[in-house]
Structure 1
């Protein structure tokens, strides 16, 4: 079942002209007719270089910014024009995990206050009180429940990102949008956060829209991959199909730039590339 879908999303921004020069204001298209589908319990990875439009697409999907045109569907309902209580419910169902955990956590607030903030914002009950709820959330993400009175600066980067994930889980979202959620972390910590997200997804069944530029990370978590460049999706497919037999030249360039940590990935890619070359250069049957 399709949980979240984007249909022909477009986002344009006004770019101011340069004072004193004959350069008028113009419109910049950051997202150009992007469509995708995300299913419950699966992870769709939007990948591409910096400036490809993937993070803007994520913010459109989460209704953090408004679309210029196109639609975002949650369970088949168009959410692009919702406001008030209806938009508040969308925000409950679609939660964000941001790139820099420290920038997204208020340094003046305790962990208890941080992770229960969505519940207060949504005016939802907290059985047993906010402290008990915060302790339960910390335990779910692998942190010491006794640390609810600490402040963000007292945690490592990986621990801070776990706090961000706990905050996102507080209201029971059906979609988790992870915008470069592990790119600021060390490789070993990245693996821990990826494993945590996969475990939580199995337990909770949420869909995950995972924004990343690191294809090695994407290979570990994605079910489906959509490759973006210049605001457009140029290739979409199951993870293994995209990695082992990329069809678009841009996808092949991205994969060629990835350090080959696992030789079997490179072997599969070379085999499929060779098969394509042989097909295009061989004499057609019957001639």
Structure 2
């Protein structure tokens, strides 16, 4: 049995037939997610792609139990966490962290960077000998931030730096799964490459798994092991990265890939043939 087959036989996360409805009026309901099912293996990165409004972020929030599903189930590390509350939900969130698309909206502007990054440790009630400062500084250094700036406030950082603060906050508790919702979209190309390298290095070092949501297909191809393509709240195609990118089966996936600018379209067409 290969490592890939072992990973899928006992996934870290399994989402089954998840539906999410939002009431938009007294008699109207909008279904944002329609019977979505997928799994994430241990040490695996699942990329989720699709147009804006396809349900990617809602699906991610359900997987992290930040939003409750209308129906369906969520299993994490072999346990059903669909309805967990209180201390059980808090324990689950220690294993799953989220890096949000807009860093400023997810960072408390009144807290210093040290307070922001250490927040998950305090939420989990984890005791660290000597306090949290050492772990915070190590996390900042690991994501390319100056540890001496831990006393500054989020507004004193650029958008790219603020996103790194969000990544450091997610990683400081060493979760088993990190959900990255457009986590690199605010970064310029060179910094984006550095952060992607960082995520890969962390995965190798600490056996993290990722759900990586991005509108940039090139980014997803760099980091994902498997890819799920969403459209109008449904997963229309999913599979191994190379299979999705080199031989897409669904017309929507084909259209997404055709829309990606290419330096030499003739060469790309010949390569695929």
Could you tell me the TM-score, scaled by structure 2's length?
Answer: 0.92
* Cα distance in 2 for residues equivalent to 1:187 and 1:59: 27
| 1:120 aligned residue | 122
Q: Deviations over 1:64-120 (max 9, x none)?
A: 010111101101211011111110011110100000112211222111111001111
* Cα distance in 2 for residues equivalent to 1:267 and 1:221: 25
Unaligned stretches of 5+ in structure 1? 18-24, 272-287
| 1:16 aligned residue | 25
* Cα distance in 1 for residues equivalent to 2:268 and 2:76: 35
* Cα distance in 2 for residues equivalent to 1:146 and 1:190: 23
Which of the numbers 268, 271, 286 marks the counterpart of 2:271?
268
Instruction: Measure how far apart 1:257 and its partner are.
Output: 0.7
| 1:30 aligned residue | 32
Instruction: Measure how far apart 1:160 and its partner are.
Output: 1.5
The alignment yields a C-alpha RMSD, in angstroms, of: 1.5
Segments of 4+ in structure 1 off by > 4 A?
Answer: 261-266
* Cα distance in 1 for residues equivalent to 2:106 and 2:195: 17
Which of the numbers 169, 175, 200 marks the counterpart of 2:171?
169
Instruction: Measure how far apart 1:142 and its partner are.
Output: 2.3
* Cα distance in 2 for residues equivalent to 1:234 and 1:240: 17
Instruction: Measure how far apart 1:250 and its partner are.
Output: 0.2
* Cα distance in 1 for residues equivalent to 2:16 and 2:113: 38
Contact 1:244 1:268 in 2 (8 A): no
| 1:197 aligned residue | 199
* Cα distance in 2 for residues equivalent to 1:143 and 1:88: 28
SS at match of 1:236: strand
Larger deviation: 207-216 or 100-109? 100-109
Contact 1:244 1:265 in 2 (8 A): no
* Cα distance in 2 for residues equivalent to 1:243 and 1:61: 25
| 2:235 aligned residue | 233
What count of residue pairs does the alignment treat as equivalent? 263
Contact 1:180 1:212 in 2 (8 A): yes
| 2:107 aligned residue | 105
| 2:13 aligned residue | 4
Could you tell me the TM-score, scaled by structure 1's length?
Answer: 0.88
Q: Deviations over 1:177-198 (max 9, x none)?
A: 0111112222222222211111
Rg (Cα) greater in structure = 1
Unaligned stretches of 5+ in structure 2? 1-9
Which of the numbers 143, 148, 153 marks the counterpart of 1:146?
148
Contact 2:138 2:147 in 1 (8 A): yes
* Cα distance in 1 for residues equivalent to 2:143 and 2:268: 31
Instruction: Measure how far apart 1:265 and its partner are.
Output: 5.0
Which of the numbers 232, 248, 253 marks the counterpart of 2:250?
248
| 1:220 aligned residue | 222
SS at match of 1:121: helix
Which of the numbers 39, 42, 49 marks the counterpart of 2:41?
39
SS at match of 2:12: strand
| 2:3 aligned residue | none
